[in-house]
Amino acid sequence: MNGSGPKTDLRRSRERMVRDQIEARGVSQPEVLRAMRKVPRHLFVEEALIPQAYEDHPLPIGHGQTISQPYVVAWMTELLAVAPGHKVLEIGTGSGYQAAVLAELGADVFTVERVKPLYELARARMDALRYRRVRLKLDDGTLGWPEEAPFDRILVAAGGPRIPAPLVGQLSETGRMVIPVGASRRSQTLCLVRRENGRVIVRELGGVMFVDLVGTHGW
């Protein structure tokens, strides 16, 4: 036995992803790196795309949506500063990959997806991979998940022209939200939103490109 084979190759590719795409670009929180090493990203893409699963770019998952670039997932996760037991709302479940990373950090994850086929596929993945800390909902993400609020952390995996007011309202005191904001995919800025002493503080962190956050309310 030489320890080689498809599973070993994928594991090595995942390790290279973390080392060369994530650590090398400044993500350093040990818990985040550990989660990125553990979650099998190749199980969150279509079979034909498995050879590209650990490359440094987003991949299509159907219905005009994508699984985010690994570095962006790690960067946003680190910005959230998730601790075990945190209640985390994710807007835009997509493939379920980001939710799995958050669950690996010990968070209780509430994730909302508006596209029914993606929601159903993500739910099946969560069941198959036994991510028991992830709850899914098919709904308009701009509304959040009011019956489960407040949330310690909110992560939005799609961009819109402004920060939806319902999401700000569902942040706990001292809560954090990471969200891309911009009028189009080519003019989005990743923002860190914090509640502190009754105030809402927004910090702009750099340019990103996300699919559109589409909803019927909350704008």
Write the pLDDT tens digit of every residue in 21-51.
999 999 999 999 999 999 999 999 999 999 9
CATH of the domain at 165: 3.40.50.150
* DSSP secondary structure code for residue 22 in this structure: I
Q: Calculate what percentage of the chain has a pLDDT beyond 90.
A: 78
Q: Which of 58, 77, 54 is nearest to 69 (CA)?
A: 58
Whether the predicted pLDDT of 1 surpasses 80: no
Whole-angstrom Cα distance, residue 71 to residue 75?
6
Question: How confident is the model at residue 79, as a pLDDT?
Answer: 96
Q: Is residue 25 part of a domain?
A: no
Q: What is the mean pLDDT of residues 12-19?
A: 97
Looking up tokens 């553990």, which residue turns up?
38
162 contact partners, CB below 8 Å, separation of at least 6: 181, 219
Task: Indicate whether 1 belongs to any domain.
Answer: no
* 203 lies in some domain: yes
Tell me: pLDDT of 82 over 60.
yes
Number of domains the chain is built from: 1
What is the pTM (predicted TM-score) of this model? 0.91
Q: What is the pLDDT of residue 218?
A: 42
Separation of alpha carbons 10 and 71, rounded Å: 17
Sign of CA dihedral 73, 79, 85, 89: negative
Domain assignment of residue 83, given as a range: 57-208
- Pair type for strands 134-138 and 108-113: parallel
Asked if residue 29 is part of any domain, the answer here is no
pLDDT at 171: 97
137-211-87 Cα angle (round to 5) = 40
Catalytic positions are 68
Residue 66 placed within a domain = yes
State residue 184's pLDDT score: 67
Average per-residue pLDDT for the chain: 91
Q: Is the pLDDT of residue 75 over 60?
A: yes
Per the domain annotation, does 82 fall within a domain?
yes
The answer to whether residues 174 and 192 touch, using CB atoms and an 8 Å cutoff, is: no
86 is a domain residue: yes
| Per-residue model confidence (pLDDT) at position 185 | 60
Specify if 19 maps to a domain: no
Q: What is the pLDDT of residues 149-190, one digit of tens each?
A: 999 999 998 888 889 999 999 999 999 999 999 876 667 889
Q: What pLDDT score was predicted for residue 214? A: 61
Which range among 10-14, 71-75, 213-217 shows the weakest confidence by mean pLDDT? 213-217
pLDDT at 217: 46
